[in-house]
């Protein structure tokens, strides 16, 4: 059973499970079925609000394995302005853990985030990569990060106190096709691809960048994320572990790559008042490589090419449907 299955990562996970010939898959999301990014007719698709305990019971009954990806979240523009809504996701994971215990689920995976890390360790764009231990002493991203950190602890205590098999991965900036690319919840790679595409097609060769562009991140392609989730779920890794690329880039360099893919050069303006998150964040992959002899390896350029191509098609179809230029912002 996959929660958040109508969303970006959940939809890709369901698709991958189908490719592996899993025959009994339950997909759950709060969105109406026609609003899911990916939906498959040979899957049990349920539209349920998992903030409600009874719906978590319905979703979990009969499930042997749970991937809990459901959450209220989005890019930095969303999580900085919706802290209460992000924190309310604690209801989802709490109720899902209770249901997993009650219905004797064999394996439970929780998707945490690099937003759990101590903010004081992310003030330098050239910061050293974040080790798992850097989550403590706790100073998580306000709202979203604190909810994820608390839910990590819930998973740990359900494992220690009740014997529930729980695994936790801290996602670092997942991107790729079949995800949010406009409307306010999109993350930096999708937003930048859309802005480059719009500038190229409109002839207005300019781009607005949040912050000064020097802030750094690593970005993990969706295929690596889906593979890593399943490897961690089936591992003996008990503590929360990083799941992210170690390829550190600045936002300016991310724009460079998108411009190169689009074959265009844009005039840049910097909005220093816009949400920009921490100054520097990267994934230290020492532990995942130690445990699994593996780490996410898709080059940013390769993954962004696929993402750009998909958003280009989506943008064209969206404009053909009569949406005005600039409405994607």
Task: Quick: pLDDT tens for 190-230.
Answer: 999 999 999 999 999 999 999 999 999 999 999 999 999 99
List, for the chain, all residue ranges whose pLDDT scores fall below the cut of 70: 323-329
Residues 91, 192, single domain; the answer is no
On whether residue 56 sits in a domain, the answer given is yes
* pTM, entire model: 0.94
Can you give the residue range of the structural domain that contains 21? Answer: 2-174+219-243
Q: How high does pLDDT run on average in the chain?
A: 95
Q: Is 248 helix (H, G, I), strand (E, B) or coil?
A: strand
CATH of the domain at 264: 3.90.25.10
Q: Where are the alpha helices (DSSP H) in the chain?
A: 8-19, 53-60, 76-79, 83-87, 90-102, 144-162, 188-202, 222-233, 251-262, 286-292, 300-320
Q: Total domain count for the chain?
A: 2
On whether residue 278 sits in a domain, the answer given is no
Residues 140, 197, single domain; the answer is no
The pLDDT value given to residue 174:
97
Task: Quick: pLDDT tens for 51-99.
Answer: 999 999 999 999 999 999 999 877 777 888 899 999 999 999 999 999 9
Catalytic residues: 144
**254, two tokens:** 């991310």
On whether residue 326 sits in a domain, the answer given is no
The pLDDT value given to residue 318:
87
- Cα(220)–Cα(283) distance, rounded to whole angstroms? 10
The pLDDT value given to residue 72:
85
The pLDDT value given to residue 127:
83
The pLDDT value given to residue 76:
75
- Cα(76)–Cα(81) distance, rounded to whole angstroms? 8
Residues 193, 230, single domain; the answer is no
CATH of the domain at 231: 3.40.50.720
The pLDDT value given to residue 329:
41
Nearest to 257 by CA among 310, 189, 186: 189
């Amino acid at each position: 059973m996959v929660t958040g299955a109508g969303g970006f990562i959940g939809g890709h996970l369901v698709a991958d499970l189908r490719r592996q010939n899993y025959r009994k898959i339950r997909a759950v999301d709060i969105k109406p079925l026609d609003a899911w990014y990916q939906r498959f007719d040979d899957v049990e698709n349920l539209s349920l609000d998992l903030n409600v305990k009874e719906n978590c019971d319905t979703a979990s009954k009969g499930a042997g394995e749970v991937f809990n990806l459901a959450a209220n979240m989005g890019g930095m523009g969303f999580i900085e302005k919706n802290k209460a809504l992000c924190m309310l996701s604690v209801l989802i994971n709490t109720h899902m853990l209770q249901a997993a215990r009650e219905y004797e689920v064999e394996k439970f995976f929780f998707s945490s985030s690099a937003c759990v890390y101590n903010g004081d360790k992310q003030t330098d764009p050239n910061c050293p990569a974040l080790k798992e231990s850097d989550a403590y002493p706790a100073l998580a991203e306000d709202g979203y990060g604190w909810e994820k950190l608390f839910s990590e602890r819930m998973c740990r205590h359900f494992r220690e106190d009740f014997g529930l098999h729980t695994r936790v991965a801290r996602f670092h900036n997942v991107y790729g096709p079949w995800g949010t690319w406009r409307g306010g919840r999109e993350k930096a790679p999708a937003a930048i691809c859309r802005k480059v595409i719009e500038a190229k097609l409109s002839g207005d060769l300019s781009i607005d960048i949040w912050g000064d562009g020097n802030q750094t991140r690593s970005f993990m392609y969706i295929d690596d994320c889906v593979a890593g989730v399943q490897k961690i779920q089936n591992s003996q890794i008990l503590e929360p572990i990083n799941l992210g690329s170690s390829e550190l880039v600045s936002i300016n360099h991310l724009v460079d790559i998108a411009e190169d893919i689009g074959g265009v050069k844009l005039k840049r303006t910097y909005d220093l008042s816009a949400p920009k998150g921490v100054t520097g964040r990267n994934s230290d992959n020492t532990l995942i490589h130690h445990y699994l002899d593996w780490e996410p390896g898709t080059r940013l350029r390769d993954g962004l090419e696929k993402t750009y191509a998909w958003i280009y098609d989506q943008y064209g179809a969206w404009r053909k449907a009569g949406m005005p230029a600039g409405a994607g912002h």
